[in-house]
Amino acid sequence: MNSNAAISVDHISKSYGSFRAVDDLSFEVYRGEIFAMLGPNGAGKSTTMRMILDILKPDTGQITVLGGPLTESTKDRIGYLPEERGLYRNVRVLEMMVYLGTLKGMSRANAQQSSLALLERLGMADQAKKKVSELSKGMQQKIQFGVTVLHQPDLIIIDEPFSGLDPVNSLVLKDLLFDFKNRGGTIVMSTHQMAQVEEMCDRLLMINRGQQKLYGAVETIRQQYALHAVIVEGQGQWASLPGVSKVEPLQNGRKAVLLHLEPQATADHILAAIAASPDMHIERFEMAVPDLNDIFIRVVEGAQA
């Protein structure tokens, strides 16, 4: 086991009756990274998170969290944002935050102080005395995330943190997440928004039907799925270039086309050839590395085909 691992999951499986929700899954989450868990609905993401949090026990396999099996004191070092959100409704914001903070082992004074500081950061200082039910939905979501990090945990596990957030609040949340990471915190998040994964996450695990489909650094995986092709945009008879086997218009590019290369050709050759040819002009030239969305769709559809 890697001593640098915040979470180490070792061959876990979980079934509900005859339904195998998680099937022999192994992975590690390193300290200080943002780790994405991807997969279609019902793939087993939430079940895996709940097993890490000891809400559920795996049928087989082992999980180590922050250096050992999950104990009472480990729980105090973890923050959890469940997929289904909820807060007390008829309670004042500050009162609720302090209560949930103390349940994570904070002293009352400390919880009070941290809650006020956090509300300040969220731009909600003047809402502290309001009842939760009086807050707008966006505010409630910010409070919800606030509760997750209030007790300054080492690790947070957040299930679909961006779902339902408007763009402005998404930015606020993103800032908070990076801030948490920069202070050495580890983040495990599940999401459907691939753009967020590409932008924020260091490594990812993609599961489908409880099984591991992709696992590793985000960049490495994108490279793995890279086509032997380049994307160009500009003017020229692309098909006449040496080493190009096929020209394919890009689905959502304006004038961009995808140039499939012959096995021995490289992107450098193509670029050199374009540069050498006076009747060709390029405005854009890049490796045809698919975005995660494409990979996601390819993996899921591949599994269903």
Contacting positions for another protein (CB under 8 A)? 15-19, 21, 41-44, 46-47, 50, 53-57, 72, 75-76, 78, 80, 82-89, 91, 99-100, 102-104, 147
The letter for the amino acid at 111 is: A
Question: Nearer to another protein by C-beta: 78 or 229?
Answer: 78
Q: Are 104 and 151 in contact (CB under 8 A)?
A: yes
- Closest approach, Cβ 77 to another protein, in A, equals 11
- Closest approach, Cβ 50 to another protein, in A, equals 6
- Closest approach, Cβ 74 to another protein, in A, equals 11
Where are the extended beta strands (E) located within 17-69?
Answer: 19-30, 34-38, 60-65
- Closest approach, Cβ 107 to another protein, in A, equals 8
Residues 6+ apart with CB under 8 A from 2: 8, 28, 30
Question: Nearer to another protein by C-beta: 96 or 194?
Answer: 96
Other beta carbons within 10 angstroms of residue 139's beta carbon come to 18
Separation of alpha carbons 34 and 25, rounded Å: 19
- Closest approach, Cβ 290 to another protein, in A, equals 26
- Closest approach, Cβ 179 to another protein, in A, equals 21
Question: Nearer to another protein by C-beta: 72 or 126?
Answer: 72
- Closest approach, Cβ 95 to another protein, in A, equals 9
Other beta carbons within 10 angstroms of residue 11's beta carbon come to 11
Q: Are 61 and 13 in contact (CB under 8 A)?
A: yes
Question: Nearer to another protein by C-beta: 147 or 204?
Answer: 147
Separation of alpha carbons 299 and 38, rounded Å: 11
Question: Nearer to another protein by C-beta: 61 or 243?
Answer: 61
Question: Nearer to another protein by C-beta: 2 or 107?
Answer: 107
- Closest approach, Cβ 71 to another protein, in A, equals 11
By DSSP bridging, strand 155-159 and strand 186-190 are parallel
Question: Nearer to another protein by C-beta: 102 or 267?
Answer: 102
Separation of alpha carbons 215 and 202, rounded Å: 11
> Where do runs of H (alpha helix) occur along the chain?
45-52, 72-75, 93-103, 108-121, 137-149, 167-182, 194-200, 218-224, 267-276, 292-304
Q: What is the CA radius of gyration of the chain?
A: 24
Other beta carbons within 10 angstroms of residue 138's beta carbon come to 14
Question: Nearer to another protein by C-beta: 176 or 218?
Answer: 176
